[in-house]
Amino acid sequence: MSLKNLEGLNFQLSEEHIAVKDAARDFAQNDLLPGVIERDIHVKFPKEEAKKMGELGFMGMMVDAKYGGSGMDTLSYVLAMEEICKVDASAGVIMSVNNSLVCYGLAAYGSEEQKVRFLTPLASGQVIGAFCLSEPEAGSDATSQRTTAEDKGDHYLLNGTKNWITNGDSSSICLVMAQTNPELKHKGINCLIVEKGTPGFAIGNKEDKMGIRASDTHSLMFSDVKVPKENRIGAEGFGFKFAMSTLNGGRIGIAAQALGIAAGAFDLSVKYAKERKTFGKPIAEHQAIQFKLAEMRTKIEAARWMVYKAARDKDSGNDYVESAAMAKYYASEVAMWATTEAVQIHGGYGYVREFHVERMMRDAKITQIYEGTTEIQKMVIAREILK
C-alpha cells in the first residue's frame, strides 16, 4: 500500500453521512425487524420492504439524481448497508445487488439511452435488477461462459442457464453475460440487458438456502431469447471487462453486508450479556465473556476501517481493487467468527430463532462465498501485491 493511499484517511462523518446512517437504522428497526424471523422461516421475499427501500433512496444510492438516484458517495452506501444488515442481511443483499452490480454497471458503462430506459427505474426503486454471471459450470471462473449470444445482425439469440441469481424472480431487468465469439475466449463475451417477460426467458425454482433465505435466488434459463443489439452494454466483446469492473465495486457492498451482520450480532451479545445472570450476577461481569466481547469489538472495528477505506478509495478515484478485496475477505471472516461467538455467548438461547443470532450465523457464511470466495479474494490481493 502506498503512502499516497493513506493521505486524507479521515472517516469523520459529515452531517449528510450521519443522516443517511440514522435513516437506514430507523428503517431497519421499524420496518425490517418486526417480520425478519417470519421471512426467514417461510423464505418470504420482503416485497413491501424492498419497495420502501426504493422510496427512501436506498436502491440507487450512487446514481446521479437525473437518472432517479440519490447522488450519494460510496461511503454513504456502505453506512446504509451496515445498518440494514445489522437487522436483515436478506434485505441487504437485495439492495447490494441493485446498487453495486446493476445500477453501477449501467451508470458507468451504459449508453445514454440505456440509462434513461433502464437505469432510471432501477435507481428509483420502481423495479429491481439482477446480475447474471454464474453458471452451473462457471461460478468463479467468469471466462468459461457457456451461455451464448449468437450475433444475428440486428439482434443476439441468447441461449443458456445462469445459476445462483439473487433477485432472480423479483427482478425486472437482468444483466446477462454471454459468449458471442468463443474463439476469442474472454474477449468474446458480451453483457446484454434482458427484460423479464421476453419470450424464451424462464425462471427456475427458488433455491432452499441455509442463510439469507428471504432474498430470492433462482436459476434463469434462456432459450432462443431475442435481444436487440441496442441492449448490449459497451462495444463488442466488452462483457468480461464489464463484469470484472462491476464485481470490484460489488465486493465493497458485500464487505459492508458482512460488517453489518457482525456488528448486529455484537450488539445483541452485549445486550444479552448485561441481562443474563448466572451465579448471581450478569454474565457480562464474568471475565470469559468480557474477553469475547473485547475481541469481537476489536475485530469488527478493524473490519469497519477496512470497509470504509475501500469506499473512500472508490470515492477518491484511487485504484480500489486491492482494498475492496481485502475488505471483503477480512469482513466476511470476521462476520463468520463473530456470529459464532455470539451464539456461544447466548448459550442455549443462541440456538433458537427468537434471539436472532443463529440466523445471523447462517447469513454470515454466504459473505465468504459470493462475489468470489475467500480464496478468490486472496488471489486478487496477491495479484495486486505482485504486479
**3-state SS, residue 150:** strand
Q: What is the DSSP pairing of strand 129-132 with strand 148-151?
A: unpaired
Q: Cell triple for residue 285?
A: 461481569
371 included as an active-site residue: yes
Nearest to 310 by CA among 297, 298, 300, 323: 323
Q: Cell triple for residue 331?
A: 469482513
Helix locations, 86-167, DSSP H? 89-96, 104-109, 112-114, 120-123
Distance CA 338, CA 299 (A): 9
Distance CA 306, CA 337 (A): 17
Distance CA 342, CA 88 (A): 16
Distance CA 273, CA 350 (A): 12
Catalytic residue (one of 48, 371, 375, 384): 371
First CA to last CA distance, the chain: 13
What is the distance of C-alpha 111 from the center of its chain?
A: 24
Q: Cell 444483466 identifies what position?
A: 175
Distance CA 123, CA 58 (A): 8
Question: Do residues 80 and 21 touch, judged by C-beta distance below 8 A?
Answer: yes
Helix-strand-coil percent breakdown of the chain, rounded to 5?
60, 15, 25
Half-sphere exposure (CA, 13 Å, Cβ side) for 156?
27
* Long-range contacts formed by 292-299: CB under 8 A, 24+ apart: 292/341, 292/344, 292/345, 293/266, 293/269, 293/345, 295/341, 296/262, 296/266, 296/269, 296/338, 296/341, 296/342, 297/266, 299/262, 299/334, 299/337, 299/338
Residues forming the active site: 371
